[in-house]
Amino acid sequence: MRFPDPRALLATLLVLAAPAAWGGAEQVRAGILAELRERYPALSPADMAAGAAAFDAARLAQAQARQPAPGAAEAIAAGKRIWTHRFAKGRSLAGCFPNGGRRIAAAYPQYDRRVKRVVTLETAINQCLKTYGQPLLDPADPATMGAVLAYLRSLSEGQKVAIRVAGAAAEARFEDGRRLYFTRLGQRNYACASCHLRHAGSYFGDAALPPPVGSAVSWPWLREGHPVSLQVRIRECLERMGAAPFPAGSEELAQLEYFLAYLSNGLPLRPGAWRPADGPHM
Ligand code: HEC
Q: In this predicted model, what pLDDT tens digit does every residue of 107-153 receive, in sequence order?
A: 999 999 999 999 999 999 999 999 999 999 999 999 999 999 999 99
Q: Is residue 58 part of a domain?
A: yes
Q: Global pTM?
A: 0.92
Q: Which residues are catalytic?
A: 237
Predicted local distance difference test score (pLDDT) of residue 88: 83
Mean of the pLDDT values across residues 98-105? 98
Number of domains in the chain: 2
Answer yes or no: is pLDDT of 215 > 60.
Answer: yes
Q: Is residue 121 part of a domain?
A: yes
Closest ligand 1 atom to 243 CA: 38
> 190 with 247, same domain?
yes
Q: Return the bridge partners of 227, or none.
A: 222
The residue among 125, 130, 129 whose CA lies nearest residue 147 is: 125
> 173 with 257, same domain?
yes
Instruction: Report which protein residue has its CA nearest ligand 1's atom 37.
Output: 192
> 197 with 250, same domain?
yes
Of 66, 195, 221, 262, the one to substitute when testing ligand 1's pocket (max ligand atoms within 8 A of C-beta) is 195
As a whole number of angstroms, the longest Cα–Cα distance in the chain is: 60
Contacts of 232 (CB under 8 A, 6+ apart): 139, 140, 142, 146, 248
CA atoms of 237 and 91, how far apart (whole Å): 37
> 132 with 81, same domain?
yes
> 176 with 259, same domain?
yes
Distance 262 CA to ligand 1 centre (A): 17
Distance 260 CA to ligand 1 centre (A): 12
> 51 with 174, same domain?
yes
Distance 120 CA to ligand 1 centre (A): 19
> 108 with 175, same domain?
no
> 240 with 122, same domain?
no
Q: Is residue 213 part of a domain?
A: yes
pLDDT tier for residue 22 given thresholds of 50, 70 and 90: low
> 146 with 201, same domain?
no
> 139 with 90, same domain?
yes
Q: Return the bridge partners of 111, or none.
A: 118
Instruction: Report which protein residue has its CA nearest ligand 1's atom 11.
Output: 209
Closest ligand 1 atom to 275 CA: 18
Instruction: Report which protein residue has its CA nearest ligand 1's atom 7.
Output: 237
Q: Is residue 83 part of a domain?
A: yes
Closest ligand 1 atom to 281 CA: 12
Q: Which domain holds residue 98?
A: 72-154
Among 120, 154, 188, residue at a domain's last position: 154
Q: Is residue 17 part of a domain?
A: no
Environment class of residue 21 by beta-carbon count within 10 Å: exposed (0-12), middle (13-18) or buried (19+)? exposed
Are 197 and 35 in contact by the 8 Å Cβ rule? The answer is: yes
Answer yes or no: is pLDDT of 9 > 90.
Answer: no
> 42 with 180, same domain?
yes
- What is the CATH number for 182? 1.10.760.10
Q: Is residue 135 part of a domain?
A: yes
Q: In this predicted model, what pLDDT tens digit does every residue of 223-272 receive, in sequence order?
A: 999 999 999 999 999 999 999 999 999 999 999 999 999 999 999 999 99
> 117 with 183, same domain?
no
Instruction: Report which protein residue has its CA nearest ligand 1's atom 9.
Output: 237
Question: Phi, psi (5° rounding) for residue 171?
Answer: -60, -40
Q: Is residue 228 part of a domain?
A: yes
Q: Per DSSP, which regions of 51-103 are E strands? A: none
Residues with a CB atom less than 6 Å from ligand 1 = 51-52, 190, 192, 194-196, 204, 207, 209-210, 215, 221, 230, 233-234, 237-238, 241, 256, 275, 281-282
Q: Is residue 272 part of a domain?
A: no
Angle subtended by helix axes 230-240 and 251-263, to nearest 10: 110
Among 87, 120, 154, residue at a domain's last position: 154
